[in-house]
Amino acid sequence: MTQPIDCGTALHELYEFLDGELTEEKRSAIEEHLDHCAPCDGARKFEGELRIVIADRCQEEVPDELVDRIKAAILLAKEQA
């Protein structure tokens, strides 16, 4: 049985989660949270898609304006969580 975690922890660990840098135990704790928490699950999907877009274009310059817009969108999503 994994320890339940709150939204702050889930979002804080989201980057490591997506990078696959967490232990199996932490991964399942976050996955469990994401399964039951729509705002955090939305953030996970958003971050995941963002990474795919960036990976696709990794040889290209990402305009600062786009990076700023994405950062603002993530911040907004976290505030609404």
Does residue 40 touch Zn ion according to CB under 5 A? yes
Distance of CA 2 to the CA centre of its chain: 20
What is the CB-side half-sphere exposure of residue 1 using CA atoms within 13 A?
A: 1
Nearest approach, Cβ of residue 66 and Zn ion (Å):
26
Does residue 14 touch Zn ion according to CB under 5 A? no
In the chain, what is the greatest distance between 2 CA atoms, to the nearest angstrom? 44
Residues in the interface with Zn ion (CB under 5 A) total 4
Does residue 43 touch Zn ion according to CB under 5 A? no
Binding stretches for Zn ion (CB under 5 A):
7, 10, 37, 40
